[in-house]
Structure 1
Amino acid sequence: MKLATLQKLLKRYHDGIATKAERYVVDQWYESFGGDPEAVPGLQTEAEKTALKSRLWQAVPKQRKPIRWYKQHAFRIAASLTLLLGAAVWLYLVRDPAGQSAAQLAKTNNRWHVITTGSRQLKQVQLPDSTQVWLNANSNLKVLPGYGVDARRISLSGEAFFEVTRDTVRPFVVEADGITVKVLGTSFNLRSYESLQEIKVAVSTGRVLVTNAAAQQLSELTVGQELAYRRADKTFLVGNVAVADSRSWREGRIVLDRASFDELVQGFYNRYGVRLTTADQDVASYRYNLTLQPTYRLEEAIALVCTTLHKNYRKEENGTIRIY
């Protein structure tokens, strides 16, 4: 075995990064000397030991001070482009030009503070109490007057995921067109698009109390549970849901689980900014079970849907896509 190869193997062995095969070679090499360290070539005298140690250390690459990512040329360019062009998801802090927080303004002059998103747009919102809110596309979040005084009260139209900072004195309350969600500190997803027949609440951590417009308790949900509230007849169902599904839209995926055509339409409008339409009753009544990955282009996504339905599609002059 060449000395250079031996040095590399010994260094990797000593640092604990040698592969199983490399460890076997080193072990066999040592065992070939019958356990007598004086018989190991190059280690028979103190001078040889010192010389070998010096050669080993010389073979170790000099450690350089790490360069911060934002100081590197390529990253500086990328960061500049990102700032100029804008990202699909960004941090939106609720501030007025004077620098006051939404809660401070709500306490003093009862102003409402509204955060909105359009199609193909997500926002991450940090509320004054450090509660984190991820707002899905085509949504509207209102920080209601008096936020943080007796309760932390907001209103939602659309969809959002909440990571609520715990506060046992001031509960966190979300109003959503007929139902109210109340928590002390937990994480949950709330979907309340006006175009959909159901409002859905899904819990990721902790507990969530859901009441109706008459302040009557509907259910207290725990991890992995979902409540679906029907606007039309004010009835509701509680079932189980995969916690990971609450992350899907934040990761750019559209996950449909026995979804209605209206839910499919909303998903496409959020992602691609395009409305789907149909006059085909089979399409309108179908229950959709599919996942559209974030890499899918519009044409790929609609082709997948039509393949599932054994239908065709065409683009209308007004920009909508008709499935027939």
Structure 2
Amino acid sequence: MNEKEKNELYKKFGIHDPAGFFVDEQEKESLSQEILERIHATKQIQQGQAQRKSLKLKRKKQLLTMAAAIGFLLLSTGMLFYHSMSGDYITITVAKGETKQLVLPDGSTVWLNSASTFKYPKKFGKKRMVYLLDGEGFFDIVHDEKVPFVVEASGIKTNVLGTSFVVKSYQALSTMSVAVVSGKVAVSDDHQQTSVLLKNEEVVYNKDHRKPKVLKIKAAERKAWNDGNVIMNAAYFEDLVLAVENAYQVKIKYDHQKFKNCQNSIHFNTKQSLTEVLNLIREIQGITYQINEEKEVLITGSGCN
């Protein structure tokens, strides 16, 4: 470093007159060397920070790339399910066209049907309380006399000790139901109406008047969707339409009032094509249909009185 460069360096540190500031040349040279060493050390620190920043940015880009890839995978497979945690609860949302199996904290198993949303605590306390916010679930509950298991759906509570049953409570439907596959359950509503159900019994509630109706059924058919089979007997048209919408990820438009009283029995497998299933409905209900490019189906027909 020449004299001019040294003087410029001194000025940066507030030394404008080196000749009057230093006692002798040795002190002057010693301070110059110290300043240079500190500048060098500062540069090394800055370089290290820059490298760490670069690594962080590189790491961030890698994580974003991974997230994008995962996001694409979920979208390309129909978004299997959405899992979120809030406080002490876990919420699971299953996409249309998919089903999801869960194991709860007590070892009980739940199978969720398409377009279902289910909420349960991370840890059970004195009561095993879970919530079917929307959709349908098949529950196989671990027996525990000291800790009852309760499913709440549409304001209806299903109380069990250890059994298997199906709860169906889609927000889009005018009814909700509970069907017992094995064991016994007690179903109650806000008006303290209680129905005790045994195997192959189902209680149906109309969401408007809440009057329970107990039916004899083949309960195994109620959970057939878990194997890709949809079995519906004397089902209202809205129920049938929703099953098709959820299975094939489509939107079906029709005159709700005209088809309100239509009841049909149908059996199809979700491996069949949408056209095959619509043709089945055409045969049993006499509808006409049109499939648009936007995965939308328009159904017309005379309906039912």
For Structure 1 versus Structure 2, the TM-score category normalised by the shorter chain is 0.5 to 0.7
> Residues 218 and 227 of structure 1: is their aligned pair in 2 closer, same or farther, counting only changes over 3 Å?
same
* Match of residue 142 from structure 1: 119
* Match of residue 302 from structure 1: 278
Partners of 1:237 and 1:247 lie apart in 2 by 20
As a proportion of its length, which structure holds more strand?
Answer: 2
> Residues 258 and 89 of structure 1: is their aligned pair in 2 closer, same or farther, counting only changes over 3 Å?
farther
Partners of 2:94 and 2:204 lie apart in 1 by 24
- My pick for the range that moved more, 273-282 or 185-194, is 273-282
Partners of 1:226 and 1:259 lie apart in 2 by 14
SS of equivalent residue, structure 1 residue 285: coil
Of structures 1 and 2, the larger Rg is shown by 2
* Match of residue 152 from structure 1: 128
Partners of 1:287 and 1:321 lie apart in 2 by 20
In the TM superposition, what is the alpha-carbon distance from 1:126 to its structure 2 partner?
Answer: 0.3
Q: Does 1:254 align with 2:230?
A: yes
* Match of residue 19 from structure 2: none
* Match of residue 174 from structure 1: 151
Correspondent of 1:312 among 275, 285, 288:
288
- My pick for the range that moved more, 241-250 or 230-239, is 241-250
Correspondent of 1:185 among 155, 158, 162:
162
Amino acid at match of 1:123: K
Partners of 1:175 and 1:280 lie apart in 2 by 28
Matches within 5 A, 1:230-269: 230-269=206-245
* Match of residue 200 from structure 1: 177
* Match of residue 17 from structure 2: none
* Match of residue 323 from structure 1: 299
Amino acid at match of 2:218: A
In the TM superposition, what is the alpha-carbon distance from 1:248 to its structure 2 partner?
Answer: 1.2
* Match of residue 263 from structure 2: 287
Correspondent of 1:227 among 203, 217, 220:
203
Partners of 1:192 and 1:203 lie apart in 2 by 15
1:44-69 deviation digits (Å, cap 9, x = unpaired) = xxxxxxxxxxxxxxxxxxxxxxxxxx
* Match of residue 132 from structure 1: 109
> Residues 136 and 254 of structure 1: is their aligned pair in 2 closer, same or farther, counting only changes over 3 Å?
same
In the TM superposition, what is the alpha-carbon distance from 1:270 to its structure 2 partner?
Answer: 1.4
Structure 1: tracts of 5 or more residues without a match:
1-83, 97-108
Amino acid at match of 1:127: L
Partners of 1:197 and 1:307 lie apart in 2 by 25
Partners of 1:181 and 1:117 lie apart in 2 by 22
* Match of residue 75 from structure 1: none
1:206-263 deviation digits (Å, cap 9, x = unpaired) = 110111124x142111111000011101111001110221231111111121111110
In the TM superposition, what is the alpha-carbon distance from 1:118 to its structure 2 partner?
Answer: 0.8
TM-score normalised per structure 2: 0.68
* Matched-pair contact (CA < 8 Å) for 1:278–1:284: no
> Residues 284 and 321 of structure 1: is their aligned pair in 2 closer, same or farther, counting only changes over 3 Å?
farther
- CA RMSD in angstroms, aligned pairs only: 2.6
Runs of 4+ deviating beyond 6 Å: 84-90
Partners of 1:189 and 1:279 lie apart in 2 by 29
What fraction of aligned residue pairs are identical, expressed as a percent?
A: 31
